[in-house]
Amino acid sequence: MSDDLVRLEPRSGLSKEKRSWPVPALVADAGPDASRRFLEFFAATIRNPNTRAAYARALNQFFGWCEDRGIQRLDQIEPMVVAAYIEQHPGSAPTVKQHLAAIRMCFDWLVTGQVVQQNPATSVKGPKHIVTRGKTPVLAAGEARQLLDSIETDTIVGLRDRALIGLMVYSFARVGAAVGMSVEDYYREKKRWWFRLHEKGGKNHAVPAHHNAEEYMDAYLEAARIAGAKGAPLFRTVNRARELTDHGMSRIDVFRMIKRRAKAAGLPPEICCHTFRATGITAYLNNGGTLEKAQQIAAHSSPRTTKLYDRTNDELTLDEIERIQI
């Protein structure tokens, strides 16, 4: 629906980033103040770039759906319209809930900016979606050790990969936080080393370095000769000569590396970036750690989220089943 998307003309006070977001025609037709407010919604309320992109897709899909059904003005979007959109949405429950959240938050912002008088999504309920166990593949402690020990330590690439995987296992770091680290985000304070992780929502989260993670990181930094390089990415790509570049690794780079390392170690192909976060949490809980502390280390806002990564009950269930002796 290229005809339905317009771009706000550059005006004073709008950054280049704000001007780059597509504005649905339904919003643009409400005037420049509505368009400006729509763009500022992304810039001012959503810090995570992945969430920002997902909400932009959701809102453009919703407004396009409204236009296809003859709605010509923002004030014509009533609760029953939003409810109908949510009801017929073909996506999974989590996707539908995300779309509803995007619509609700956007209209809240438009109401605050006096673009519309009320939020039509306030009273609309999304689908029920309760998850008690995560789907992320988890490695047993022995498998995690097998993977780490399989990585060569006589190359800079091997030292980098071991340090990166070790960081995710021993600090429960998200891959986005890991690739977003600068060299100074591994620092010494009060006789111990710490990792500074840049989490969702622009929050910084400090985690003490496990002695294994510290060993891996020190070996990598010494070989890379980048210690003290302020502002420089910590985990970097390599060129064709297998030398480090000045460019930081992306999520895709890490994903491909993990797939390659897992295959070389003879581990299941389902392993992904999140596997190491879940593996670390499960190992921690297996060794007497508490869910509350795991939540704190992982920087989860809710213990229910942390529980999704916990696979300690897997072995317990199997042990109990094996009691059935026939």
In the predicted model, what is the mean pLDDT of the chain? 82
Assess whether pLDDT exceeds 60 at residue 7.
no
**Range in 18-32, 81-95, 137-151 with the lowest mean pLDDT:** 18-32
Token code pair at residue 82: 């939003």
pLDDT value at residue 289: 78
Is residue 241 packed enough to be buried (19+ CB in 10 Å), middle (13-18) or exposed (0-12)? exposed
What's the pLDDT score for residue 129?
Answer: 46
The pLDDT of residue 201 is above 80: no
Domain spans in the chain, listed from the N-terminal domain onward: 2-112, 141-321
3-state secondary structure (DSSP) of residue 206: strand
Q: Is residue 290 pLDDT above 90, yes or no?
A: no
For domain 141-321, the CATH superfamily is Intergrase catalytic core (1.10.443.10)
Q: What is the mean pLDDT of residues 14-28?
A: 67
Q: pLDDT digits over 218-265, tens only?
A: 999 999 998 878 889 999 999 998 899 999 999 999 999 999 999 898
> Does the pLDDT at position 85 exceed 90?
yes
CA-nearest of 180, 160, 179, 166 to 224 is: 160
User: What's the CA gap between 2 and 289, in Å, rounded?
Assistant: 53
Whether the per-residue pLDDT at 139 is higher than 80: the answer is: yes
Rounded CA-CA distance 228/222 in Å is: 11
Cβ distance 251 to 201 under 8 Å?
no
What local confidence, expressed as pLDDT, does residue 271 receive?
Answer: 87
The mean per-residue pLDDT over the stretch 75-93 comes to 91
DSSP 70-135: T--SGGG--HHHHHHHHHH--S-HHHHHHHHHHHHHHHHHHHHTTSSSS-TTTT--------SS--
**pLDDT at residue 227, as a whole number:** 84
Average pLDDT over residues 61-72: 94
Among 48-52, 110-114, 193-197, the least confident range: 48-52
